[in-house]
A = this chain, B = another copy of it.
Amino acid sequence: MPPLTGRRSGQPGRVSGGARSRTAGGRPAVMADVARLAGVSAQTVSRVLNDHPYVAEETRARVVAAMLELGYRRNLTARALVTRRTDTIGVIAFDTGLYGPASTLFSLEQAARERGYHVHVATVPDLSEEGFVDAVERLRGHLVSGLVVLAPQRGAVRAMAGFPGDLPAVAVEGGAAPGLTSVVVDQVGGAVQATRHLLDLGHRRIAHVAGREDWIEADARLQGWQQAMADAGLPAGPVLPGDWSARSGHEAGLALLAAGVPVTGVFVANDHMALGLVRALAEAGVDVPGDVSVVGFDDIAEAGYLRPPLTTVRQDFAEVGRRCVDRLLHLVEGPDGSPPEDALVVPATLVVRASTASPAGEPPRP
């Protein structure tokens, strides 16, 4: 039993004398130290740590006391080596300061922690397949139990096509990637609600400002808008390009004004763009909601305090994070026969504020 035989310990002499805190020599205590102090075998210490049955209460107490006295901390890398698992979830995120991914990440960590898991993060600098592969490799090296991918771009889904099948993974807004289960917010449903809200107010000519190209959410929101318009038997108005930024919303507003299209309502794919759009309209003397109604998407923290307070669609990112963990751990721990039902959908809810009203001279539909 070499640990304290001196050759390696920096301090000479009186080794097994009085192990006050830590171990003589300052080396962090290991199981053998605890075992020695408690007068049991290392295996018994392990049993105490892992809550195995069949450890006498008296023994357990002695071991716990020894651990406390030595300030023992179990070495998770050693444990991982032998158990071949780290109880760690790997999160792959596209490098971004956007509100959604960040919130999801935090709630995800919280949910993971509650279930005894840790979170290891890897961001990808761009959407190349290479970047993803690299991120996956790094996380695999750490023996993560599973992966959560927070990269809601189609490019990301494409890059994930070559995903290793042996590692459980959940994608957030992952679209319909084959073999990859996903947790998504009901983007289409949210967009339908937003558009219907405008329709119900009596609007007939409704434009859409789209989100960044290649983003799955942008597609879904566009689709929801189209669907709602079609359901109402109305032609879908103009679609203006955007990139999620307030700046692009502003530009869309200017383009809308320049085109002279007689719209009375606009469904904008996110709040930041909605805000830019409202500003462009205001600059041109167009009142919101007096002349044009605007609906956003996201329900950013300040949405209620914009001018006017923004009608928008709320996404529950905290719920997304929790569900991701649920889903992933189900895959990880569950009987492997678990069916990966295609996607878990978190509902989106319309939040009506003051940026929408009935168009002039037109009463709301019953």
Which residues of A line the B interface, CB within 8 A? 73-78, 80-81, 86, 88, 93, 95-97, 99, 102-103, 105-107, 109-110, 113, 118-123, 125, 137-138, 140-143, 245-247, 249-250, 272, 275-276, 278-279, 282, 301-302, 304-307, 317
Complex Cα distance A272/B245, Å? 17
**Residues of B contacting A275 in the complex (Cβ-Cβ under 8 angstroms):** 302, 305-306
**Residues of B contacting A247 in the complex (Cβ-Cβ under 8 angstroms):** 304-305
Complex Cα distance A113/B76, Å? 22
**Residues of B contacting A105 in the complex (Cβ-Cβ under 8 angstroms):** 102, 105, 121
CB contact under 8 A between A109 and B97, given known A77-B80, A246-B301 = no
**Residues of B contacting A103 in the complex (Cβ-Cβ under 8 angstroms):** 97, 102
Decide: B141 and A75 in contact? CB cutoff 8 A.
yes
**Residues of B contacting A304 in the complex (Cβ-Cβ under 8 angstroms):** 246-247
**CB of A138, distance to nearest CB on chain B (Å):** 6
Decide: A113 and B109 in contact? CB cutoff 8 A.
no
Complex Cα distance A117/B302, Å? 36
**Residues of B contacting A110 in the complex (Cβ-Cβ under 8 angstroms):** 95, 123, 125
7 contacts between A and B (CB under 8 A): A75-B143, A76-B143, A102-B102, A109-B122, A109-B123, A246-B302, A278-B307
Decide: A301 and B272 in contact? CB cutoff 8 A.
yes
Complex Cα distance A84/B306, Å? 52
**Residues of B contacting A76 in the complex (Cβ-Cβ under 8 angstroms):** 141-143
**Residues of B contacting A73 in the complex (Cβ-Cβ under 8 angstroms):** 137, 140-141
Complex Cα distance A263/B260, Å? 42
Complex Cα distance A247/B303, Å? 10
CB contact under 8 A between A74 and B120, given known A95-B106, A307-B282 = no
Decide: A97 and B95 in contact? CB cutoff 8 A.
no
Complex Cα distance A110/B247, Å? 26
Leading 9 A-B pairs by shortest Cβ distance:
A102-B102, A246-B305, A246-B302, A77-B80, A97-B103, A76-B141, A276-B305, A77-B77, A109-B123
**CB of A310, distance to nearest CB on chain B (Å):** 11
